[in-house]
Amino acid sequence: STTEENLSDRMKLFNQLDVVIVGAGFSGLYMLYRIRQLGLSVRVFETADGVGGTWYWNRYPGARCDIESLQYSYSFSEELRHEWHWNERYGSQIEILKYLNYVADKFHLRNDIQLKTRVISAIYDENSVRWNIQTDTGESISAKFCIMATGCLSMPKQVDINGINNFKGKTYYTSQWPHENINFHDQRVAVIGTGSSGVQSIPLIAEEAAHLYVFQRTPCFSVPARNTPLDLQEEQAWNKDYNEHRQKILNTYAGFHTTGLSYDQSALSVSPETQQKAYETRWQLGGLSFLSTFNDLFFNKQSNDTAGNFVKSQIRQLVKDPVVAESLTSQDYPVGCKRLCIDTNYYETFNRPNVTLVDLKKENIQQITSNGIQTTKNIHEIDCIVFATGFDALTGALMKIDIRGQSDSTIKKKWCEGPRTCLGLMTTDFPNLFMITGPGSPSVFTNMVVSIEQHVDWIADCLDYLRKNQFDTIEPTQESEDAWVNQVNAIANASLVNMANSWYLGANVPGKPRVFIPYAAGIVPYRQKCDQVAANGYEVNAAK
Ligand code: FAD
Ligand code: N01
């Protein structure tokens, strides 16, 4: 009613809101849309000066998605689907950012989004049963619910290389790429890091630079993307059968499906010829589905080795110099246990005369000097450095905010030996605080847009339930949280995922506890568990 609208407007003026959302990427935008549908007052705070999250920040050359565009997009609006046309099999950063801006405009989201504003603290007040949220612009907001849409890969990792501040040339971070065009012509460029961001940017920087030095500490496993233009007819055919596709997607392990051969059996149960043929087919198709060729690649080291050895054999065929090929095939961890990279011409780039691979297993970086990088063997003179050194993933953005719950609890203290959550959605002692794709949920092990939509819908339904049943607060019981953490750990321990020093388990950040963070049993059992909790009236401590 009008009276209610006026009241809501007045509350907004006094910074008294029903909901605060932190972050305006895929998660924050859809969460805002759903909260508005519930008729609650809401504001989104975002550090950047635009929406888009990951796709706003990571503007480096070659940045693109490695889940097919038709599946890496929202499902909630049929109208949006019909209005939007994806140009390529895998969306580029530019295209995905345009898409998210289109979404913000189409659903009139911008007037509830406050850009250039970082949330620095969220403090729960037990008396008023509300969250006090402080921003770096000096604002103080009171909200009943606080929803963290802060991203799993949004906090760049601090680089710990000696002498980093001595360098006189330009430095760039793939995760915070400048908005203006960067020209590497005539430049001697160093790229430090060979994860997904390095693998995507290296071929394009090599095309431009006078010379490119790639500093590799751990070789990645990379499979070709085989990106192609996406024609309108293909997209229309997909949209025609969208519901059928969507059902298939929701019943996969990781929230995306592919055509092509997948064996619902061990790689070890077929002949070596069949194995080869299967991997060859997947390699030709390109993309992440390489890891679904057999059903035990994440669980059986011997089986995993067949896949790893196949990739290594492809690298040896692609890279002409046998010494370089040896460095690129010196992986000593199971394939897939560090995020599989998906590339366009990555290995071929090492055949270029203007590209040098610096293998840090053979020559360690000692320091960065004013004009280069000094290793134990060489001094490489460099004009600019690109840090493709990754993120303080999954917990970094959350831990950066001073989050205080009941009885003097803080997230920093509570999670000092690793994150503890129930379903990756909530954490005990922090009532009415929600996380989208939080630690302990499938998140980065999946097509993130599928996981994001599932979380947002669950949270929105939960808020609706609380309101309808006149509950003031909700938080998980200690028992349900402990049980969930044990389950997440048990699943990780039953697989090979602990065998690599990956960001999945915090191994890339010095001092971070080594705990495997995502839920790795797939989206189907996860969703069933979430649905069951909702169907049972949220099973959690809900207080009137
Ligand atoms: P984000 O997009 O990270 O957005 C979070 C936002 O919160 C950011 O804009 C950040 O500025 C803001 N924020 C954080 N803290 C604060 C604060 N304290 N105050 C205010 N604002 C704050 N996933 C896939 O499934 N497939 C892919 O192919 C894929 N490719 C990727 C490529 C790159 C280069 C990267 C980095 C990630 C990729 N991901 C991919 C993961 C990607 O992060 C997710 O798919 C998705 O974009 C996450 O959306 P989000 O809204 O949850 O988080
Ligand atoms: O980061 P990373 P990223 N000295 O952590 C090296 C998503 N994503 O930005 O492995 C020398 O994977 C580090 O070496 P090591 C995707 O989920 C997707 O590339 O720690 N080297 C490693 O090689 C991805 O997994 C896409 O030994 C140092 C690299 O830097 C996630 O984001 C594209 C170093 C970091 O790799 C993160 O990817 C981009 C040091 N001091 C990102 N510190 C798609 O394609 C770090 N390294 C969809």
Strand-by-strand arrangement of the 372-375 sheet? 365-368, 372-375, 379-381
- Ligand 1 centre to CA of 271 (Å) is 42
Helix 242-250, helix 523-535: angle, nearest 10 = 90
* Per-residue pLDDT at 1: 43
Residue nearest to atom 2 of ligand 1 (CA): 53
**DSSP H helical segments within 78-169, as ranges?**
78-83, 93-106
Q: What is the spatial distance between Cα 109 and Cα 101, in angstroms, rounded to a whole number?
A: 10
Chain centroid, CA 492 distance in Å: 18
Block means of pLDDT (10 residues each) for the chain, 544 residues, are 54 82 99 97 98 98 97 98 96 98 98 98 97 97 98 96 97 97 96 98 98 98 97 94 97 87 88 96 94 94 98 98 98 98 98 98 97 97 98 98 96 97 98 98 97 98 96 95 97 96 96 96 97 89 56
Q: Is 347 a pocket residue for ligand 2 (Cβ < 6 Å)?
A: no
> In this predicted structure, what is the pLDDT of residue 4?
54
pLDDT at 467: 96
Among residues 382, 425, 431, which one has the least CA distance to residue 406?
Answer: 431
Q: Whose CA is nearest to atom 39 of ligand 2?
A: 197
What pLDDT is attached to residue 380? 97
**Euclidean distance between CA atoms 239 and 250, whole angstroms:** 16
The two counts, helices (H) then strands (E), for the chain are 17, 20
How many CB atoms lie under 10 A from the CB of residue 456?
28
**Closest atom of ligand 2 relative to the 66 alpha carbon:** 48
Whole-angstrom CA distances from 459 to 35, 104, 110, 463 are 9, 20, 21, 6
pTM as predicted: 0.97
Q: Write out the two tokens for 367.
A: 């320091």
Is the CB of 62 inside a 6 Å radius of any atom of ligand 1? no
The answer, yes or no, to whether ipTM is higher than 0.95 is yes
pLDDT digits (tens, 9 = 90+) for 425-467: 999 999 999 999 999 999 999 999 999 999 999 999 999 999 9
Q: What pLDDT was estimated at residue 261?
A: 66
52-70 pLDDT, tens per residue? Answer: 999 999 999 999 999 999 9
Instruction: Fill in the DSSP letter of residue 391.
Output: B
Give burial (CB, 10 Å; 0-12/13-18/19+) of 164. middle
